[in-house]
Structure 1
Amino acid sequence: MPHLPYRELPDADPGTPDTRSPARYLLWLARHQRAQLLLNALFGVGWMVSQALMWAAVGAAIDHGVAHHDTRALFEWVGVVMALGLFQAICGSLRHQLAVTNWMNAAYRTVQVIGRHVSRHGSALAEEVTSGDVVNTVAADAMRIGSAFDVLARFSGAVASWIVVSFILMSTSLELGLVVLLGVPILASLTTPLMRPLHTAQANQREAAGRLAALGADTVAGLRILRGVGGEDVFYNNYYRQSQLVRASGVRIATPQAGLESGQVLLPAILTAVVTFLGAQAVQRGTLQPGQLVAFFGYATFLTTPLRTAIEYVIATTRAYVGAGRVLRILRVAPLVRDTDTPQAWPEVFDELVDPPSGLTLRAGSFNALVTETPAESTEITDRLGRYVPAGDHTTLNGVTLAHYALADTRAHIVVSEIEPRLFSGDLRDELAPHGNTNDEQILSALGVSSALDVLTALEDGLSSHVEERGRSFSGGQRQRLSLARALLSDADVLILVEPTSAVDTHTEGRIAAGLRAARDHKTTLIASTSPLILERADEVSLIVSGRVVERGTHDALIQRSAAYRQIVLREDG
């Protein structure tokens, strides 16, 4: 069988989706693969029409060959049957290959646009859509969207073959032709009343499944804490109740779904019975030849395939429509921060980064520390400095509001490593240097600064070792040190670290503090921490109380003069 050339997925740029409605989103997907869809439809038409014409050739072989005892005519029509069979096989093979290709393109383009949206607007997305719902959308809804494009070629073939068979029948018997031409859409329309209940039931089931996935993800993420406080039974009961809701909603889908599935069998059977009955009467009247009756029976039997395909297409598009709605729920989440219409070029020379709400100033080449009463306060300030929240639009760089610069430039030049940085699955080398712009020597140097060489030594394949999802094979301290190395390898103009040593022991913390100071020499660095080992390395420490800088100075100077500083850092009683 012939094979079509394939291309690698995913695409470099999936494009900008049309999010105005689920139907428009599906049309946007179709436009991106219209050439493949058209070619697939042509093969689908050839595949199914050749099946229909085969019965005409069989009937002609009976009437012209068998009935007239004409061996030559018989072999000629047998040859036509074989040629149609070969053509059907070729078209069927190519149709299937393109159907799978279209399914994968639509599904994985959807996965791409969701992944891109999540990576760009993750913080805003987390407030409106649960992580479990996002996973369910990628794992289930994207595949259902792809299935609609898989069935499309067969549906096109079904429509074309229905038209061809109807005209063949009408040219032989107007009565039978009209029965087929009008009967197929009439019978197919009988499934319409089931569409709305099916659509509603599927949407409800999808909503319940999303909540179940979210509950499962939250349970797994907090499993250690749950075991520590003895909360397993509570979460088990919650998960059980939600799973029963999912099961019940799935059962409610069964009624309309069963009606459609049974219609795939019953409705074609009705059509076959009617056409066969009328054809047999025509033979008795002498208006049809025996071969034509065989062909008519074959047509009636064959037409069960287009009718079943039409019903299957209705089911697939209904699921795709529901899935597209779930996809749009994610894609419509607006980002917390946006680029201006005409962003400024990033300055060639960095002078200072200022956060007016707190009064914090970071000067070029300085090694700074930030001390706050609570971790939440430091997170608010670092989010503004990195422009991760709308309030960051007040932050200035070289006297110009940070919002006037392109967001991509801000992300490239100001790197914020949060208090709980994430590790993704993949090779450790790619995890530490995702942009591929560093060599192994630089990676090893960064691991040395973060005191993580022992982590590397314990791995059998070194930098080529596979990192499990969220780095769960590493301890909390190991994950923190690896994440610190990744932040250092960004070589950002401004590096902001939030509690980078909170999960390591004192000796390791001392080595990291010394290494950090040397590695970031002459580069702007801010570390939010209350560790004396980190603070004593800073050029300047800023003490934040109630969101404002109240003291500045070296660690030793603040220890001497500030009771509030000693209370936070040394845990002295107020």
Structure 2
Amino acid sequence: MQIRDLPYADPGRPDVRSGPLFLLWLGRRQLGGQVRAMLWGTLHMASVALFPLAVGMAVQAVIDGSQARLAAAGALMLLLGALTALGDTMLHRAAVTNWILVAARVQQLLARKTAELGSALTRRVAAGEVVAVSTGDVEKIGWFVESLSRFASAAFTTVVVCAALVVHQPALGTVVAVGVPVLALAVLPLLPPAAERADEQREKAGRATELASDTVAGLRVLRGIGGEELFLSRYRQASQEVRQAAVRSARMWALIAAVQVVLPGLLLIAVVWYGVTLAQDGRIGMGELVTVYGVVTFLLFPLRQFEEIAMAYSFSRPSAQRAARVLGLERTASAADADGPVPALKGDLYDPASGLLAPAGRLTAVVCGDPDAAGRLAERLGGHAADAPAGTPSVLLGGVALDEVPLDAARAAVLVQDKDPVLLSGTLAELLDVPSSGDVTAEAALAAAQCEDVLVSLARASADSAGDPARARITERGRSLSGGQRQRLALARSLVTDPEALVLDEPTSAVDSHTEARIADGVRTLRQGRTTVVFSSSPLLLDRADRVAFLRDGRVTATGTHGELLRADPVYRAVVTRRTDEEPDIRLAKPDEREPAEESA
């Protein structure tokens, strides 16, 4: 496969049992590219290795006064030079191609896994780790795969050269053949501490990245409460910790590099000293001594490839482990990808685990005192809660288990909007250009979500929209908008989709009461005949719901209208009105039950 053929039609199913097995799987998937790079690398290194032979022939020809052999040596130098240039160029081309292809494969795998898990991904893996895997870790994995072919060609060439030296000059060849493996293995004891320091640096860098992301995302709030200096000081401290860890890691790798310079230098000195002794005794000629010296000098080049592959593996192993951990996350469904016709997904939405029932075509409000439990239940209603405990029964839509249908079909039938929806950068028209039934227009959805002031604000803020709100640009994550404006635009986007069942988690938490009341009326009217579930404790929304379900400890304990539950359930009343049981509720108490002070008032 070539770069022009990207993206992959199918990136494959990776082996995610461990980081090394994931690297091995990537290498097998690019076996053809690795072989091509290794062949070009062998041509390049063999040409470099043979160059000392041509130099030795030229030196001996000058000593012997043979012009023919001198001319032959010059021609051989030109040929080897051309082959060296060709091999080096094609090796670089093949190696970079391998790097790009493996990086593209890993990124496609991560994108596919992200789409499969949805918002459950960031609840199971820290946001900083997700960013590290999709950026720096992909680069390090590509580095290892790219350097693997160069290492293979260097190892092959080294073995052949050492064997040729032993055959051609047994005395010097034996010294070189014994010394080179010792040099290659000398750095192995230093690799574990170097890898530990590199892991520490990456861990601290991941935490710093996560802290920076959280600070930028909440910068508007931090400025409002004067807390930006506190978070900036925390980031400075985290940044200094990353710097110190990087310095400690660099010192270890500098020590490894120094060992790779000192030991080969000692070998070179030993070979030259022994070779001069042999030349003085007349056992070898000067041309042979020059050849052996040049070959030993060449062997220092493959040793650098050994150092690079050791560094690449030390860096890529934890990166591959993190990537394998993310790619190994699975959706709870066991038969979601089964082939066959998809049953009709219409009817009541029911969760056996909590006992929540949302009748078809009705607006159901859910009150839950624990916001985290409400978020988990909202995700489970969508049929794609990847972090649900094992053995949790599937949510049913019209009697059909959502875990038993393909993920795309489940998400098309049930749309879940969490309490912190994300707005991607682009124009308003692009934001609302989502898969939909076509029955709800963008204008109707914006009106139901009470976005009139948002449209005016966008049209004024965008200089290139010519007064058309649809062409106004929204910045990344909608940070140029207020929290209420972002929330209403996200609600309009969900309404445009017009799914069979719509689940909204706190859709009006960032708006004022008057806007909230109008949104409740707009959603109720627009979603007439469709199943809608709203997680909220706002009386304005609860009063407009056809049915209210109250959850305690993960189970539905009471159902009815908002007024019925207020009168019948004191715990529900405490959650909704934010009152304790000891506080009197003047609106609900009967005249003869009020305290004397209230009656006299």
The question of a shared fold, defined as TM-score above 0.5 by the shorter chain, is answered with: yes
Query: Given residue 457 of structure 1, which amino acid in structure 2 is its aligned partner?
Result: A
- Is residue 53 of structure 1 aligned with residue 59 of structure 2? no
CA contact (8 A) 1:124 1:333 kept: no
> Which secondary structure state, in structure 1, belongs to the residue aligned with residue 3 of structure 2?
coil
> Which secondary structure state, in structure 2, belongs to the residue aligned with residue 94 of structure 1?
helix
Corresponding residue number in structure 1 for 2:423:
423
* Shift of residue 166, structure 1, vs aligned partner: 2.0
CA distance in 1, matches of 2:165, 2:481: 71
Corresponding residue number in structure 1 for 2:556:
548
Corresponding residue number in structure 2 for 1:74:
70
* Shift of residue 314, structure 1, vs aligned partner: 1.2
* Shift of residue 323, structure 1, vs aligned partner: 2.0
Query: Given residue 21 of structure 1, which amino acid in structure 2 is its aligned partner?
Result: S
Q: TM-score, normalised by structure 2?
A: 0.81
Q: 1:499 aligns with which of 488, 494, 506?
A: 506
Q: 1:197 aligns with which of 187, 193, 200?
A: 193
- Is residue 475 of structure 1 aligned with residue 482 of structure 2? yes
Q: 1:215 aligns with which of 207, 211, 222?
A: 211
Identity, % of aligned pairs? 38
* Shift of residue 72, structure 1, vs aligned partner: 4.8
* Shift of residue 94, structure 1, vs aligned partner: 1.5
Q: TM-score, normalised by structure 1?
A: 0.85
Corresponding residue number in structure 1 for 2:396:
396
CA distance in 1, matches of 2:188, 2:124: 34
> Which secondary structure state, in structure 1, belongs to the residue aligned with residue 344 of structure 2?
coil
The range that moved more, 45-54 or 450-459, is: 450-459
Q: CA RMSD in A?
A: 3.7
Equivalent runs, 1:339-488 vs 2, <5 Å: 339=335, 346-348=342-344, 350-356=346-352, 359-370=355-366, 375=371, 378-379=374-375, 381-387=377-383, 388=385, 389-390=388-389, 393-425=393-425, 431-433=431-433, 443=442, 446-450=445-449, 451=451, 453-454=455-456, 457-458=459-460, 459=462, 460=464, 467-488=474-495
Query: Given residue 131 of structure 2, which amino acid in structure 1 is its aligned partner?
Result: V
- Is residue 186 of structure 1 aligned with residue 182 of structure 2? yes
Query: Given residue 296 of structure 1, which amino acid in structure 2 is its aligned partner?
Result: V
Corresponding residue number in structure 2 for 1:324:
320
* Shift of residue 84, structure 1, vs aligned partner: 1.8
> Which secondary structure state, in structure 2, belongs to the residue aligned with residue 18 of structure 1?
coil
Identify if the C-alpha distance between structure 1 residues 147 and 376 changes in structure 2 by more than 3 Å, giving closer, same or farther: closer
Q: After superposition, give the CA deviation of every residue in 1:417-442 in whole Å (9 maximum; x if it has no partner).
A: 1121122446655544466x799x95
* Shift of residue 380, structure 1, vs aligned partner: 5.1
Corresponding residue number in structure 1 for 2:593:
none
CA distance in 2, matches of 1:175, 1:220: 67
CA contact (8 A) 1:124 1:335 kept: no
Corresponding residue number in structure 2 for 1:94:
90
Any unmatched runs of 5+ in structure 1? none
CA contact (8 A) 2:162 2:176 kept: yes
Corresponding residue number in structure 1 for 2:299:
303
CA distance in 2, matches of 1:264, 1:181: 17
- Is residue 25 of structure 1 aligned with residue 32 of structure 2? no
Aligned positions, number: 565
Identify if the C-alpha distance between structure 1 residues 511 and 118 changes in structure 2 by more than 3 Å, giving closer, same or farther: same
Equivalent runs, 1:37-186 vs 2, <5 Å: 37-64=34-61, 66-121=62-117, 125-186=121-182
CA distance in 1, matches of 2:193, 2:92: 31
Q: After superposition, give the CA deviation of every residue in 1:292-336 in whole Å (9 maximum; x if it has no partner).
A: 333222212211111122112211111112322333343444545
CA distance in 2, matches of 1:9, 1:287: 59
The range that moved more, 259-268 or 390-399, is: 390-399
- Is residue 490 of structure 1 aligned with residue 473 of structure 2? no
CA distance in 2, matches of 1:292, 1:354: 86
CA distance in 2, matches of 1:58, 1:14: 49
Identify if the C-alpha distance between structure 1 residues 182 and 173 changes in structure 2 by more than 3 Å, giving closer, same or farther: same
CA contact (8 A) 2:353 2:393 kept: no
The range that moved more, 214-223 or 184-193, is: 214-223
* Shift of residue 39, structure 1, vs aligned partner: 0.7
CA distance in 2, matches of 1:301, 1:373: 74
The range that moved more, 11-20 or 191-200, is: 11-20
* Shift of residue 257, structure 1, vs aligned partner: 1.5
> Which secondary structure state, in structure 2, belongs to the residue aligned with residue 288 of structure 1?
coil
Identify if the C-alpha distance between structure 1 residues 149 and 357 changes in structure 2 by more than 3 Å, giving closer, same or farther: closer
CA contact (8 A) 1:392 1:402 kept: no
Q: 2:12 aligns with which of 15, 29, 37?
A: 15
Corresponding residue number in structure 1 for 2:33:
36
> Which secondary structure state, in structure 2, belongs to the residue aligned with residue 393 of structure 1?
coil
> Which secondary structure state, in structure 2, belongs to the residue aligned with residue 303 of structure 1?
helix
Any unmatched runs of 5+ in structure 2? 579-584, 589-601
> Which secondary structure state, in structure 2, belongs to the residue aligned with residue 419 of structure 1?
coil
CA distance in 2, matches of 1:13, 1:89: 36
CA contact (8 A) 1:144 1:316 kept: yes
> Which secondary structure state, in structure 2, belongs to the residue aligned with residue 15 of structure 1?
coil
Identify if the C-alpha distance between structure 1 residues 275 and 373 changes in structure 2 by more than 3 Å, giving closer, same or farther: closer
* Shift of residue 43, structure 1, vs aligned partner: 0.9
Q: After superposition, give the CA deviation of every residue in 1:531-554 in whole Å (9 maximum; x if it has no partner).
A: 67656665x13252645363435x
CA contact (8 A) 1:44 1:153 kept: yes
Q: After superposition, give the CA deviation of every residue in 1:433-491 in whole Å (9 maximum; x if it has no partner).
A: 466x799x955664454435446534435667665442222221222122123223333
> Which secondary structure state, in structure 1, belongs to the residue aligned with residue 393 of structure 2?
helix
